[in-house]
Structure 1
């Protein structure tokens, strides 16, 4: 398959934190609309795109969350500096001197930078310590609070990392913000695209969920509406192929295939569904890697305990430098994840789903 780099650029450069996914939802809807029979949203804002031939067929749900890590403006001081609340998991070691975009309630975008104290002004005892989040602020280059307010900035406004999409020196490597988790949104779109002419033995739902980074909230409401028989969350995974990373703490190398997650802090991957996916991968010579995360979770953590429950699996894309302003993925991992999911979905007929659920 050919990767639509323009789609990846538009998705990753869009701004959308938890509870502010409108811009991303509009883009995802535009790209997926020609491949599905119906598109709707739940009351939290998750996008649900459905391809159906028979309502009695098993329901398969693919979820990629639309929100990215970012911040929320909580106040403006008299000098026009913005205080903020993190949305999602941030460490201050990746925040200082980084550019951000403040999006006002009227959609105006204002560039700012998170403060960073010069090294030589720090007391010696503080030079080896991380800055405290409460001491950080956003500088938008104004003289006073009134000037910031005239720009339309107010508490509650969304703040996102500012970073442009780039193809790297080796064009198989792609650099961007918000791979977590616009890559999942893009894969959900491309799986639907690859199946557009197929008569499926199931009902397929590609879902762009909201508010994953603050507790997998959108996947709860979306899976309640879909009520899947089988579910997949598509998300980034922590790469282990960079200097200084202990391979016991991170599993996954760029270019070595999709990550099949064994467990994380929210779910033990369903063993029979996992074996089904592995069998398809072997059949088609699709490379894959195993991953495990002893903390955190993905949308599958909510999906698998919805209503009467559903076998679920988290498939990941190894990504360098996640939960920062920029990450790197490999084209081959993207292509192979789309291919693997596409072929798995073709094979998930009523009999296969019953066997997975029953464990026979």
Structure 2
């Protein structure tokens, strides 16, 4: 039975990663989360598109805990069709030019999905001055095998079509390391779904909201609208962080590595976490034997940046799964970090009753 459950988890991880859903076009991922959490009858939405699964407390004044995981992945949008049938695009989320050329993508047109590739010049025709020059995003294009603008439109492709990376999940050497697209932040969605399963099975003294937010990669937008709607007391943001431990990445820039535990953020560009909640997380992890690491991001933020400022303030903490090569077509995670995150967050949700919340609030 244990092996069967592990296989089921792996299959859900595969589906989460491979599902297409760039910022502003999260519908497929939203549908998948609703399938995954079908046991929850109480499902609602904010007006931007975030999906909310609710487990209500018996007592009206019980703490309200928000588990926020963004559904969107980085990708592209068609902005112009050339007369020759190539697609110019704009980026949805932060891309670095050197990870983009010659990568396969899927263009989601009105008549279905079409495979494309971000075009590149072969080295045979590159003059010496271009060989070390980075190609700018504005000069890139997508080739979908069409011969004219009219043919592109006949295929159902138009300005405004979303485009996602075309990548399948694969297990790597040790069997626990997975490579795939969109772990930022589909692994956070998987953590949220598993914790909500545990809450439904084991109970909680609190009202717990499992929230799949939208448009995080373009400005933390769904975090703001969903937090405004729910007015939570406590928020756990479930996301990824840049993993270190690879050549050229300094330990003081990315101290967390894959396979060594869930990372607890002590600082990012959008938020200083609630220190009492941080200390409670570290104490709980030690008590239940879950390894943790520290994450710091001086150049990026998470949904917590908007959530902790909503209303009169929300006690907020970010948990991250260390991930190699985020914001590229291929990223790498370790299953043990994901399982540890589920165990730790479930324990914290169970412990956070009214008395504990008031204690944290007073610190």
TM-score range, shorter-chain basis? over 0.9
State the partner residue of 1:333: 337
The SS at the match of 1:268 is: coil
- Name stretches of at least 5 consecutive residues in structure 2 with no aligned partner: none
CA RMSD of aligned residues (A): 1.1
Name the SS for the 2:301 alignment partner: coil
Give the whole-Å Cα distance in 2 for the aligned partners of 1:333 and 1:257. 5
CA contact (8 A) 1:101 1:112 kept: yes
Partner of 2:209: 205
- 1:226 partnered with 2:269: no
Aligned to 2:195: 191
- Residues 27-70 of structure 1 deviation map (CA, whole Å, 9 limit, x = unaligned): 00111121x35111111100000011233211000111000000
> Is the aligned partner of 1:81 residue 2:100?
no
Match of 1:159 in 2: 163
Alignment of 1:265-276 (within 5 A): 265-276=269-280
Describe the shift of the 1:37–1:52 C-alpha distance in structure 2 as closer, same or farther (beyond 3 A).
farther
8 Å CA contact 1:37, 1:51 repeated in 2: no
CA distance in 2, matches of 1:278, 1:109: 45
TM-score by length of 1: 0.97
**Mapping of residues 211-290 of structure 1, within 5 Å:** 211-290=215-294
State the partner residue of 1:97: 102
Contact 1:317 1:334 in 2 (8 A): yes
Give the gaps of 5 or more residues in structure 1.
none
- 2:175 corresponds to which residue? 171
Per-residue Cα deviation, 1:2-43 (whole angstroms, up to 9, x for no partner): 441111111111110111000000000111121x35111111
Give the aligned partner of residue 47 of structure 2. Answer: 43
Shift of 1:167: 1.6
TM-score by length of 2: 0.96
Deviation of 1:195 (Å): 2.2
Contact 1:224–1:307 under 8 Å retained in 2? yes
Cα-to-partner distance string for 1:60-116 (whole Å, 9 max, x where unaligned) = 00111000000000011011000000000001100000000000145x100000011
Counterpart-to-counterpart distance in 2, 1:72 and 1:206: 29
1:312-323 aligned at under 5 Å gives the runs 312-323=316-327
Q: SS at the partner of 1:267?
A: coil
| 1:26 paired to 2:31 | yes
Structure 2 CA distance for partners of 1:341 and 1:23, relative to 1, 3 Å: same
Q: Please, which moves more after superposition, 164-173 or 260-269? A: 164-173
Q: CA deviation at 1:250?
A: 1.4
Corresponding residue to 2:151 among 143, 147, 162: 147
1:189-231 deviation digits (Å, cap 9, x = unpaired): 0001122222311100010000000000000000111111000
Alignment partners' CA distance in 2, 1:351 and 1:203: 15
User: Is the CA contact (8 Å cut-off) linking 1:13 and 1:164 kept in structure 2?
Assistant: yes
Q: Within 1, Cα distance between the matches of 2:230 and 2:207?
A: 10
Secondary structure, in 3 states, of the residue corresponding to 1:109? strand
Q: Distance in 1 between matches of 2:343 and 2:144?
A: 44
**Per-residue deviation, 1:278:** 0.5
Residue equivalent to 1:71: 76
